[in-house]
Structure 1
Amino acid sequence: MKKIMTIIGIMIASLVGIIVLFFGSVYVIDKVSLKKESQKIVGYGEKVRVVGQKINVTMIGEGKETIVLLPGFMTPAPVIDFTQLTAELKNDYRVVLVEPFGYGLSDDTSRERSIENITTELHDALEQLEISQYTLMGHSIFGIYSLEYINKYRDEVTAFIGLDSSVPAQGGAEDTQSASVKVLKDFGIYRLLAKISPETIITPPLSTELVEQNRLLALKNIGTEATLNEAVSMSANFEKAAKLTYPVDLPVQFILASESLTDTPGWLELHQDIVKDVKQSKIDVLEGGHYLHHTQAPKIAELMTEFSTTK
């Protein structure tokens, strides 16, 4: 019996050793790979210094009207994510893509991701570039931040366009992922998951080169200090936004995803309610998922142009 127990003990110890060795290897491979991959990331845009750190801004197109385009939560490479949409818009607009701290090529930050800080940083970046009249266009979570931004800088914003954008009343803003994302980041497990299932990284259908750049930036930016804090701050930011409304004289257009109407009860009605007092508003629903700009860029551009002619 004693011999059997000894053998079992050896087997358990060996198994634990194998597990520790495996995850230790995953960790080391990730850290070494990140260092090598940092040299492969191709730069784009220009850096603007805000509160002592650098925010990356990219401008595409030379149209008379300016659109400031803003990403959804934890989008690793906003400029790449919006490639198809900017290609559709660049002939008629000047598109300004601002990557918040912790996104794309912008610096990471320990500064609190409150709705006040996020919107002030965005405005500071635009102000330095002397961009003072523009349509604000945001995907997903930037629907929440847009309410604070527009009410703070109403004289600069000429319209708001929400791409399947969040609204305060939707609920579900509690932080349920920052702890797990941190583990995936710290131990290199996210790289392993992305290797096993490449679809883990949300990627638009682009060239091989851009898909690879998106992958490199996703591995670099998963679980940045900024995005982890943004997740923690999300509930408070939703609560603050719930006290705000879109100005009655601001043109507002929502372009919603059909799948979101199915996945989120009342998705259409929530958007109808938030613009019920707005003089000029329009809601369109397009076939597809939350990342409509990956699949419906031409139609989005068409709907935007139609709406802008009625402003």
Structure 2
Amino acid sequence: MRKILKIMLISISTIITVMVVFLATVYFVNLVSNEREKGKLEDYGQKVMVDGKQMNVLIQGDGKETIVLLPGYGTASPVLDFKPLVKELSPYYRVVVIEPFGYGLSDDTDKVRTSQNYVDEIHECLQKLNIKKYTLMGHSISGIYGLEYVNQYEKEVQAFVGIDSSVPKQETDELPVSSLQLLNQSGLYRLLLKVNPDQLVMPKVDDQTKAQIKMLTFRNFLDESQGSEADNFRNNFKNAQRLHFPKKLPVVFYLADQTEKETPSWKPMHEDLLKNVDHGKVVTFKGGHYLHHTRSKEISADFKGFLSNIESHR
């Protein structure tokens, strides 16, 4: 019995030692990689001072009308993520991609991520850029922030476009923020992406751009801003339930058929938001949640037609 017990103790000790060495190696590899990648990140866009911090913005195109693009939750680099859509829109419009705090190359912030704070910061950014009239085009959770925004700045916003955008009454899941942050800090998240790189959702771009997105993913993954944003999901969605789109504001929703299959109430919830809007419509495209990766041409073409149709009826 003593011999068996001794063998068991040795085996357990060996397993524990191997695990500790493995976790320590993963941790230090991640630390070294993070430091090395800081020097490899390529700058893009321009910095705007907002609430005492730097917010990164890309402006492309010189059309008379302006479109402001806002990202979905957790997007590593909004500028690079929206690249296919910017390419399609910029020949006709001035396109402004805003990277909120904690996203892309913008600073992080410890200011609570309520919809109100988010809206205040985006508006201050546009004011600093002297952009007074614009269309808001937002992906995913920007549907919630956008709804808050257009109600506060109705005179500035000329139209709202939702790309498979969130709605106030949809179900919201709580993210295990602390656990996911620990996963990233431990280096295990980097290891998981190394084993299965397809977990990273990104548009069809060149390898250099993919590498930049990957590095920014490790840099920004559930940083302080995104952690606070996740913690405030339920409150922000609940507060948005009091809001409706202004009657005279043109609104168009581009929805993904895959999302509709997963959530049968997806299209009806969007249609419900349009019931009191003079110029509103819902368009469904084949594809997944990131329609701006796969349907940028269709979105651009339909949006131009949507605006032209409204102008012809004025």
Q: Identify unmatched segments of 5+ residues in structure 2.
A: none
Question: Are positions 1:12 and 2:50 aligned together?
Answer: no
Match of 1:240 in 2: 239
* Aligned counterparts of 1:174 and 1:33: Cα–Cα separation in 2: 32
Is residue 127 of structure 1 aligned with residue 127 of structure 2?
Answer: yes
Asked if 1:41 is matched to 2:41, the reply is yes
| Partner-residue secondary structure (3-state), 1:209 | helix
In the alignment, the residues of structure 2 paired with residue 218 and residue 308 of structure 1 have an alpha-carbon distance, to the nearest angstrom, of: 35
3-state DSSP of counterpart to 1:309: helix
Cα deviation, residue 54, structure 1:
0.8
Report deviation, 1:220: 1.0
Question: In the alignment, which residue of structure 2 is the partner of 1:206?
Answer: 205
Given the alignment of the two structures, is residue 100 of structure 1 paired with residue 90 of structure 2, yes or no?
no
Alpha-carbon distance in structure 2 between the residues aligned to 1:87 and 1:303: 15
RMSD: 0.8
TM-score by length of 1: 0.98
1:108 corresponds to which letter in structure 2? Answer: D
Tell me how far 1:177 sits from its aligned partner.
3.4
Q: What's the counterpart of residue 77 of structure 1? A: 77
Q: CA deviation at 1:203?
A: 1.3
**How far is the alpha carbon of 1:181 from its aligned partner?**
1.8
Q: Which residue of 1 aligns with 2:282?
A: 283
Q: Distance in 2 between matches of 1:206 and 1:269?
A: 34
Displacement after TM superposition at 1:265 (Å): 2.2
Deviations 1:47-88 (A, max 9, x none): 111111111011011100000000000000111101000000
Provide the residue aligned with 1:151 in structure 2: 151
The share of aligned pairs that are identical, in percent, is 44
Give deviations 1:149-170, integer Å, cap 9, x for gaps. Answer: 1111111100000000000011
Which residue in 2 is equivalent to 1:309? 308
State the number of aligned residues.
310
Q: What residue is the counterpart of 2:32 in the other structure?
A: 32
Give matches, 1:102-117, under 5 Å.
Answer: 102-117=102-117
Mapped to 2, the partners of 1:37 and 1:275 lie a distance apart of: 45
In 1, Cα distance between equivalents of 2:130 and 2:209: 30
Cα distance in 2, alignment partners of residues 310 and 123 from structure 1: 28
Q: Structure 1 residue 176: deviation in Å?
A: 2.4
> Deviation per CA, 1:187-240, whole angstroms, max 9, x where unpaired?
111110110001111111111111111111111111211001100001000011
In structure 2, C-alpha distance between the alignment counterparts of 1:243 and 1:9, rounded to whole Å: 62
> Is residue 300 of structure 1 aligned with residue 299 of structure 2?
yes
**Partner residue of 1:217?**
216
* Distance in 2 of aligned mates of 1:120 and 1:199: 35
Greater displacement, 208-217 / 65-74: 208-217
Correspondence 1:174-213 to 2 at 5 A: 174-213=173-212
SS in structure 2 at match of 1:168 = coil
The residue type equivalent to 1:28 in the other structure is F
CA distance in 1, matches of 2:48, 2:183: 30
SS of match in other structure, 2:232: helix
- Per the alignment, in what secondary structure is the counterpart of residue 40 of structure 1? coil
Give the C-alpha shift of residue 242 in structure 1: 0.6
Q: Where do 4+ consecutive residues of structure 1 move more than 4 Å?
A: none
Matched residue, 1:261: 260
Partner of 1:249: 248
3-state SS of 2:54 partner: strand
Query: Deviation string for 1:2-50 (max 9, x for gaps)?
Result: 1211221111111011111111111110011011011111000111111
| Amino acid in the other structure paired with 2:305 | E
- Distance (Å, rounded) in 2 between the aligned partners of 1:6 and 1:61: 73
User: Residues 86-145 of structure 1, C-alpha deviation per residue, up to 9 Å, x if partnerless?
Assistant: 000010000000000110000111110001101100001110000110000000000000
The separation in 2 between residues aligned to 1:181 and 1:301, in whole angstroms, is: 36
Greater displacement, 68-77 / 201-210: 201-210
- Where 1:310 maps in the other structure, the secondary structure is helix
